[in-house]
Amino acid sequence: MIRFAADYFDGETSRAHAVEASVDAGHLRVRGGAVDFAVSLDRVQVAPPAGQARSVVHLPDARELHSADAAALLELSRLSASARPERWAHLLESRLGFALAALVVSILIVTAGLRWGVPAVAQLAAHALPGWVDERIGEEALALMDELSLSPSTLPAARQQALTQKIADQCRRQTCPSYRLLFRDSKLFGANAMALPGGTVVVTDALVGLARHDEELLAVVAHELGHVRHRHGLRMALQSLGAGAILVAVTGDIGSVTDLAAGLPSLRLQSGYSRDMEREADAYALAWLNTACIPPTRFAAILGRIDDDASDTGLLDSHPGTRERLGPFRGPGRCL
């Protein structure tokens, strides 16, 4: 016999009536004071419980029963017409085995979505978006960098022109993405080169000074052209948006105490995404150098000089470890 105490609301006033409800012969009978009626169970809807709040039994004509007897209402829900998804969710949540299985499946789905789903979608989206999107982002990024961290190059114009011509000559012999080569001085970036969305490749004066052979510079530019070819700048922006949206959906509130919990996996993800792109750009550079008949060791030589303490890939590194990157470039190469 199902029997429970409840507050009855008649659907017309906010007054609560203390009643006792019981199930008998396919009906829910409600009695208490002046209240005495029965409702067929197929007209009863039991709302699933929400935390510690009392559950609600919906009756015809907007009438309701409010009760804290969760066990009795669970039994009633099994007899009544309640068939809403929330009821099934509650039944699954109330069983530890199902809850743990659901947790494991959810973690696997979220992990797979972040690791493979987001990059795949970002890659498709990046190649579907028009080129002016990259160009606009790149122009704004360059303007900001020129204002904050870059200054005009001190290299002689003839030197800049000579290097620009060598890259152009190589790109006439093989397919290169559309690019624009710029030289800048920067104390912040030191010996470095970077590809911006839209095809702008910035080479710093310090990198030119570090090179012992122009082919070393060509090798670095080839790596940056790999970023341009695969639209890594735009893909990274899209991946950041996608990963952030998923993490916010999982944590629910990324603006308070969950900042740290959500920020660490986000940083880990961005590092992983960035490492994948660096490997992709390295693969492009290796093929480019082979086609140009430039020994891949040129890239290994200048990379080893930039990072003279070669290390393995760290958990949060944005680039693969130098030791890993040098491997494919230490061979003699193949002049295609």
CATH number of the domain to which 28 belongs = 2.30.29.30
> Which tokens belong to 205?
């004066």
Give me the pLDDT at residue 78, please. 76
pLDDT value at 34 more than 50? yes
Give me the pLDDT at residue 4, please. 92
The residues, any chain, with a CB within 8 Å of residue 135's CB and separated by 6 or more, are 197, 198, 199
Mean pLDDT score, 27-44:
90
At 236, the pLDDT band (50, 70, 90 cuts) reads confident
Most confident of 145-149, 268-272, 320-324: 145-149
pLDDT value at 232 more than 60? yes
pLDDT value at 174 more than 80? yes
pLDDT value at 336 more than 70? no
Give me the pLDDT at residue 91, please. 66
How many other C-beta atoms lie within 10 A of the C-beta of residue 254?
17
Give me the pLDDT at residue 292, please. 92
Cα separation, 82 vs 69, in Å, equals 17
pLDDT value at 152 more than 50? yes
Domain boundary among 82, 116, 148: 82
pLDDT value at 331 more than 80? no
Domain boundary among 82, 108, 142: 82
Name the residue range of residue 301's domain.
129-329
Of 21-30, 90-99, 206-215, give the lowest mean pLDDT range: 90-99
Q: Are residues 77 and 133 in the same domain?
A: no
Of 1-15, 74-88, 113-127, 225-239, give the lowest mean pLDDT range: 74-88
**Is 25 contained in some domain?**
yes
**Is 150 contained in some domain?**
yes
> Which tokens belong to 138?
């790149």
> Of all helices (H) and strands (E), which one includes residue 185?
strand 180-185
Q: How many CA atoms lie within 13 A of 167 on its CB side?
A: 25
**Is 92 contained in some domain?**
no
Give start and end residues of each alpha helix (H) in the chain.
Answer: 70-79, 85-93, 96-112, 118-128, 131-148, 157-173, 205-210, 214-229, 232-251, 259-292, 297-306, 322-326
At 65, the pLDDT band (50, 70, 90 cuts) reads very high
At 257, the pLDDT band (50, 70, 90 cuts) reads very low
Closest CA relative to residue 120, chosen from 235, 200, 229, 288? 235
Q: Are residues 148 and 297 in the same domain?
A: yes
Q: Tokens 């735009």, residue?
A: 234
Cα separation, 8 vs 323, in Å, equals 73
Give me the pLDDT at residue 294, please. 92
Q: How many CA atoms lie within 13 A of 304 on its CB side?
A: 12
Most confident of 69-83, 277-291, 318-332: 277-291
Of 22-26, 55-59, 220-224, 268-272, give the lowest mean pLDDT range: 268-272
Q: Are residues 170 and 267 in the same domain?
A: yes
Cα separation, 290 vs 332, in Å, equals 10
Closest CA relative to residue 215, chosen from 159, 278, 170, 161? 170
What pTM, to 2 d.p., does this model score? 0.64
Mean pLDDT score, 97-117:
83
Mean pLDDT score, 216-221:
96
Q: Are residues 38 and 173 in the same domain?
A: no
Output 332 or 120, whichever has higher pLDDT.
Answer: 120
Q: Are residues 139 and 76 in the same domain?
A: no
**Is 87 contained in some domain?**
no
Output 250 or 301, whichever has higher pLDDT.
Answer: 301
Of 6-20, 78-92, 222-236, 322-336, give the lowest mean pLDDT range: 78-92
> Of all helices (H) and strands (E), which one includes residue 57?
strand 55-58
pLDDT value at 56 more than 70? yes
Of 52-56, 78-82, 118-122, give the lowest mean pLDDT range: 78-82
Q: Are residues 209 and 272 in the same domain?
A: yes
Is 195 in a helix, a strand, or coil?
A: strand
